[in-house]
Amino acid sequence: MGECFEPLSVRSLAAVLGLVDVSPDTLRRWFAQLAQGATNYERDPLNQATGDAASREIDERLTPCWSGSRASRTTARRDAGARARRRVDRVGADGRARPAEVLAQRPAELVRQAVDEGLRLVSPIGTQFREVKRPVTVAGVELEPGAPVSLVIASANRDERRFDNPDRFDMFRPRRQHAAFGFGRHFCSGHWFSRRQMEIGVAALFERLGRCGLRLDRDRPAVLAGWEFRAPRHLHVRWDRS
Ligand code: HEM
């Protein structure tokens, strides 16, 4: 995952933001350090300091991008977009056995619903962190103001009252809104970018390797890990020489 998908993720976002001169290693470090701050539920000052330091470093790099002339920003964005398209063309994601066969037949047509179903099933961000503002009782538990609360949206995305066979990957299930990008006023600002990033990557992968029988390696199954950020640590796949 670290070799293929993390570089895809950080480099395409950096390209779209115009951060083209930042090395992939720095981008991955920023991601890891920001995540350390964002998942600091235990309120450890060291974790917080790490996240804050990365945040400051990013601000220092980004500020010049916003302060250029409008024309130069437009040109930078256009160039960055072209670079991003070239880069995401080289890599991709996903690969469950039967869905992979189906997706391989019609990648362009099915990729949107495959990505959406993947988001529902895996919920890459599994929780939402909040602080209690007034005394409240939830499911018999009394919560006092100031108490930290972690809402498990990954669980909501598998609510059997909303989704039939919720633990099954079914890209043909009736489309119903899920919570993978949050709700309401905190709804994810990056959802359009993320969806397109995944759709382009997955479609490129299946257009190239789908006809070669791209499939999960049954001998080395993917193991999902992580709570706040959830993903497979490895995703071993096989394909046949055409
Ligand atoms: C698959 C990728 C992504 C997933 C699953 C995801 C998921 C989420 C979720 C669940 C929230 C709500 C958090 C909460 O309410 O506590 C959120 C918020 C947010 N996301 Fe994302 N996100 C993704 C990618 C991105 C990207 C690429 C960006 C930026 C380019 C981004 C920017 C944001 C921002 C700024 C917020 C906070 C919005 C607010 O509080 O007003 N996200 N995201």
Closest ligand 1 atom to the C-alpha of 128? Answer: 16
Cα(55) to centroid(ligand 1), Å: 15
Whose CA is closest to 100, among 214, 182, 233? Answer: 214
Residue 111 pLDDT > 60, yes or no?
yes
DSSP string, the chain: -TTTHHHHHHHHHHHHHT-TTS-HHHHHHHHHHHHHHHT-TT--HHHHHHHHHHHHHHHHHHHHHHHS-HHHHHHHHHHHHHHHHHHHTT------HHHHHHHHHSHHHHHHHHHHHHHHHH-SB-EEEEE--S-EEETTEEE-TT-EEEEEHHHHTT-TTTSSSTTS--TTSPP---STT--GGG--TTHHHHHHHHHHHHHHHHHHHGGGT-EE-TTS---EE-SSB-EES---EE----
- Which of 116, 131, 188 gets mutated to test ligand 1 (max ligand atoms within 8 A of its CB)? 188
Q: Which range has the worst mean pLDDT, 12-16, 74-78, 81-85, 132-136?
A: 81-85
Cα(85) to centroid(ligand 1), Å: 22
Measured by CA distance, the residue closest to atom 41 of ligand 1 is 186
Q: What is the mean pLDDT of the chain?
A: 84
Query: For position 96, what pLDDT does the model report?
Result: 42
58 lines ligand 1 (CB under 6 A): no
Do 167 and 186 form a contact (C-beta atoms < 8 A)?
no
Q: What is the pLDDT of residues 59-90, one digit of tens each?
A: 898 887 666 655 555 555 555 445 444 443 33
Contacts of 165 by beta carbon, 8 Å cutoff, 6+ apart? none
Quick one: average pLDDT of 109-128? 94
Q: Which range has the worst mean pLDDT, 72-76, 85-89, 124-128, 213-217?
A: 85-89
pTM of the model: 0.80
Query: For position 92, what pLDDT does the model report?
Result: 36
Residue 40 pLDDT > 50, yes or no?
yes
Do 216 and 237 form a contact (C-beta atoms < 8 A)?
yes
Do 13 and 34 form a contact (C-beta atoms < 8 A)?
no
Q: Which range has the worst mean pLDDT, 91-95, 118-122, 169-173?
A: 91-95
Query: For position 62, what pLDDT does the model report?
Result: 80
Measured by CA distance, the residue closest to atom 43 of ligand 1 is 188
